[in-house]
Chains A and B, each alone.
Chain A
Amino acid sequence: MPNHDHGHVDTEGSGDYTPGYYEILERSLAELLVEKGRIDANDIRREIEVLDSRNPALGARLVARAWCDAEFKKRLLANGRKACEELGITSYEDTELIVLENTESVHNLVVCTLCSCYPRAVIGLPPDWYKLKPYRARAVKEPRTLLKEFGTFIPDDMAIHVSDATAQVRYLVLPQRPIGTEDFTEEELAKLVTRDSMIGVVRLDPVQVHPGEVP
């Protein structure tokens, strides 16, 4: 059975680049689909631009707005997709967004045990660990132990709610606003929000110093 080459990792276009079997497969499929008029010559390039435009900064804006504006937060929790549109963030067709609010009594965690469903319209593409077996197997069975491996300790008096995405709903965690940010602007707040806090594997640390201040 042929041992398909998984690719020689080198800079493309350097002339020394040897694409692996699967890259050649991917390129071939794309070219054939264009030749047969099934897709346009520009489709993939345009879609890459869309993918590049989706990153955690979008989700961070939603979170910061929710922290600053109680009415927006209500709308965000009621219908995530519509609230995204208020900020000019479009969603992928046939998906809905449910935003899960972390509180003093509940910590939320997101996983897709069956594949890798992820709120990519608002935070971009998922990290490898999210897509691999250990996370997917353990998040739904031993979330507290798993979170410790991220350095996150959820006390016993808090409940953990794990959401397993299996259909058209995507989940985004609304982390608790860090202590010490009472004077922060919405823009400054958005800079504090990390991708991992919106998956729910970490909480946001208290802030010691306001940006621009000397500690």
Chain B
Amino acid sequence: MSAQNRDAADWLPNDLGGVATAPFERVEHPMLPWEKRCHALADVLDFRKIISTEEKRRGVEALGETTINKLSYYERWAVCFANLLFAKGVITPEELALKMAQIEARFNRSGE
């Protein structure tokens, strides 16, 4: 009933058990401050009952293979949160865009 290849629509991009892969590398990087804040944000969204951990997992899967491969681990989470918060009507894309411009301007000013 289902296609066997990994490009099939029903095979999630994160479902990696047994798939062909590049060689293993024992890589570790110290977490960047913003990444730690992002992880903290995920936990806060969960205990504030805004976005559950499972909703986040589903939201990351929904980004699709192309985007997943382009972004790093926490970049995926940040995009996922934005999408889910839009869908839930918590924020609008316009509000987010304006806020991002505001914050970017803040950094540009402090660099002067």
Contacts and interface: CB of A to CB of B under 8 A. Distances in A.
Q: Does chain A touch chain B in the assembled complex, meaning CB atoms less than 8 Å apart? A: yes
Interface of A: 6-7, 9, 12, 15-19, 22-33, 36, 38-39, 43-45, 47-48, 50-51, 92-93, 113-116, 125, 127-129, 131-138, 140-141, 146, 149-150, 164
A125 B23 CA distance: 23
Contacts of A6: 72, 75
B44 A113 contact: no
B90 interface: yes
B100 A25 contact: yes
B17 A32 contact: no
B37 A30 contact: yes
Given A26-B37, A115-B14, A141-B18, 10 more contacts: A12-B33, A18-B111, A26-B41, A28-B96, A32-B96, A115-B60, A125-B39, A128-B29, A129-B26, A137-B20
* Secondary structure call for the B interface: helix
Contacts of A26: 34, 37-38, 41, 74, 78
27 contacts: A6-B75, A9-B32, A17-B107, A22-B74, A22-B79, A25-B79, A25-B96, A29-B41, A29-B85, A31-B99, A32-B99, A33-B91, A47-B40, A48-B37, A51-B39, A113-B16, A114-B57, A125-B31, A129-B24, A129-B26, A133-B21, A136-B17, A137-B20, A140-B17, A140-B18, A141-B18, A164-B17
A138 B107 contact: no
B44 to A, nearest CB: 5
A193 B78 CA distance: 34
B36 to A, nearest CB: 6
B7 interface: no
